[in-house]
Amino acid sequence: MQLTDPAVADYLEERLDPHDEILDEMEAYARETKFPIVGRQMGRLMALLAQAAKVRTVFEMGSGYGYSALWFARALPEKGKIICSEGDPDNVERARQYLDRADVIHKAQLRVGDAIEILAGSSGPFDLIFIDIGKKDYPRARSGWRFQDEASSLIFSRQRHPGRPHPGPAEPKPDARGIRGSRA
């Protein structure tokens, strides 16, 4: 997700972390496959927030192949933990390889299956729950969180639905309906 003008973003990226081989590779893979990762600006922002809030435990719903998880894992303290949940086993295997290469695999537990069910079966509490599954599942995800731990912070990713969740059609598409239904 692009938060600032692309030219300004390029300038800042060049100065902030110009040579991050693994992030570069993961981003190239996202471009090739059109896979919707959070992107570098959002990744950095989430990592900053996690560090500022002294987050030690993260539950991630919809980890894909580990890009957002890598940002969180790097932001966590050495004994911190991120539980990654993802429905596609190929993505999970890819995440395992990337997180291993980045030397943060010891902070990660990778789980394959429905993220909402995995969360329901996990013992928290989690300092942060990051929700980035199919948007139509957001209301279900939100109610799963209610049973989990009212004290957690939640980040919902909107990805292709920035700003207002729907432009106002009489019958919004399932993803937009899901985002609307996840609001408190």
Ligand X SMILES: C[S@@+](CC[C@H](N)C(=O)[O-])C[C@H]1O[C@@H](n2cnc3c(N)ncnc32)[C@H](O)[C@@H]1O
User: Least distance (Å) from ligand X to the CB of residue 90?
Assistant: 9
Instruction: From 8-16, 36-44, 97-105, 144-152, give the range in contact with ligand X by CB under 6 A.
Output: 36-44
Is 110 or 116 the residue whose CB approaches ligand X more closely?
116
157-163: long-range contacts, CB 8 A cutoff, minimum separation 24:
157/1, 157/38, 157/42, 157/62, 157/68, 157/130, 157/131, 157/132, 158/1, 159/1, 159/36, 159/38, 159/132, 159/135, 160/36, 161/135, 162/1
User: Least distance (Å) from ligand X to the CB of residue 167?
Assistant: 21
87 binds ligand X, rule: CB under 6 A: yes
Integer Cα distance of 158 and 179 in angstroms: 8
Is 63 or 148 the residue whose CB approaches ligand X more closely?
63
**Segment 49 to 68, residues that bind ligand X, using CB under 6 A:** 62-64, 67-68
Is 11 or 97 the residue whose CB approaches ligand X more closely?
97
148 binds ligand X, rule: CB under 6 A: no
Is 79 or 83 the residue whose CB approaches ligand X more closely?
83
The size of the interface with ligand X (CB under 6 A), counted in residues, is 21
User: The sheet that has 57-61: what strands, in order across it?
Assistant: 108-112, 81-86, 57-61, 128-131, 153-156
Among 40, 50, 76, 91, binds ligand X (CB under 6 A): 91
Integer Cα distance of 111 and 17 in angstroms: 30
DSSP-assigned beta bridge partners for residue 121:
none
Binding residues vs ligand X (CB under 6 A)? 36-38, 62-64, 67-68, 85-88, 91, 114-116, 132-134, 137, 159
